[in-house]
């Protein structure tokens, strides 16, 4: 248990669906992150929020839309995804920049 | 742009042998270097974090060194056990961004 919880753990969605991934941290951290892990590729940073403000958007397509309503919760809204978006999506948090990062268990997303 | 490389990509050793995992990075202006473990289909578990001002960090059988000037870190795992079988990832921190290597997949044979 890392203190970072992601739901759902598995998600299958069609290309026309809209779904959301949820991340919650109980560590009192100020920064939260979304990462994408595709097969045979290193983890890719998608978004970073610090104190609920987006501080990094790593050229992610607009079909991925993040939301950070407070410092404990982070969402990733998904719409009109492509099969190549199938991957493990990981949420992480850290106290501040440059501090140790803690990861959730991930959501395994399959787009059909 | 920070580039992180891990060598070797895979490693298989008999139980009891010491493991040496290498990580190199191109931008030495890092906040820290973090080592993670990932089991198949699971999230990442933080193993060790070395601040940029430190040379090494130890936790139990794990020891990680950092040479910032040459852009290298090494993770040593002493007296390996079958439960150490996993993928090990290193990540270099620049500001808010963690840049990851592709990982070293370790198999410890009983």
Chain A: give the shortest CA distance to residue B85, in Å: 18
* Tens-digit pLDDT profile for residues A49-104: 988 888 888 889 999 999 999 999 999 999 999 999 999 999 999 999 889 999 99
**How close B50 gets to chain A, by Cα (Å)?**
9
Give the pLDDT confidence of B41-94 residue by residue, as tens digits.
889 999 999 999 999 999 999 999 999 999 999 999 999 999 999 999 999 998
> Chain B residue closest to A42 (CA)?
B102
pLDDT, tens only, B29-56: 999 999 999 999 889 999 999 999 999 9
In this predicted structure, what is the pLDDT of residue A58?
Answer: 80
Cβ-Cβ contacts under 8 Å, B93 against chain A:
97-98, 101
Question: What is the tens place of the pLDDT at every residue in A12-40?
Answer: 999 988 999 999 999 999 999 999 999 87
* A39-46 own/partner pairs: CB under 8 Å, 24+ apart: A39/A87, A40/B102, A41/B102, A42/B4, A42/B99, A42/B100, A42/B101, A42/B102, A42/B103, A43/A90, A43/B89, A43/B91, A43/B98, A43/B100, A45/B97, A45/B98, A45/B99, A46/A76
Q: Does A47 touch chain B (CB under 8 A)?
A: no
What are the backbone angles phi and psi of residue A56, rounded to the nearest 5°? Answer: -150, 130
Among B32, B43, B49, whose Cβ lies nearest the Cβ of A106? Answer: B43
Six-digit token string for A66:
């993040």
């Amino acid at each position: 248990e890392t203190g970072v919880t992601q739901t759902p753990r598995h998600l299958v969605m069609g290309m026309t669906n809209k779904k959301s991934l949820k991340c919650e941290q109980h560590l009192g951290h100020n920064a939260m992150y979304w990462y994408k892990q595709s097969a045979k590729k290193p983890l890719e940073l998608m978004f970073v929020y610090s104190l609920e403000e987006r501080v990094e958007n790593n050229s992610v397509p607009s079909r991925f839309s993040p939301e950070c309503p407070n410092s404990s919760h982070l969402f990733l809204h998904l719409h009109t995804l492509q099969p190549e978006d199938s991957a493990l999506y990981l949420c992480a948090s850290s106290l501040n920049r440059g501090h140790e990062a803690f990861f959730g268990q991930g959501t395994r997303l399959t787009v059909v | 742009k920070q580039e992180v490389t891990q060598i070797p990509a895979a490693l298989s050793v008999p139980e009891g042998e010491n493991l040496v995992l290498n990580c190199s990075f191109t931008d030495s202006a890092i906040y820290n270097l973090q080592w993670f473990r990932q089991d198949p289909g699971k999230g990442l578990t933080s193993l060790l974090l070395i601040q940029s001002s430190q040379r090494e960090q130890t936790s139990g059988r794990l020891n990680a060194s950092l040479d910032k000037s040459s852009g290298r870190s090494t993770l040593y795992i002493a007296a390996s056990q079958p439960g150490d079988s996993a993928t090990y990832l290193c990540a270099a921190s620049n500001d808010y961004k963690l840049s990851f290597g592709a990982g070293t997949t370790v198999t410890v044979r009983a």
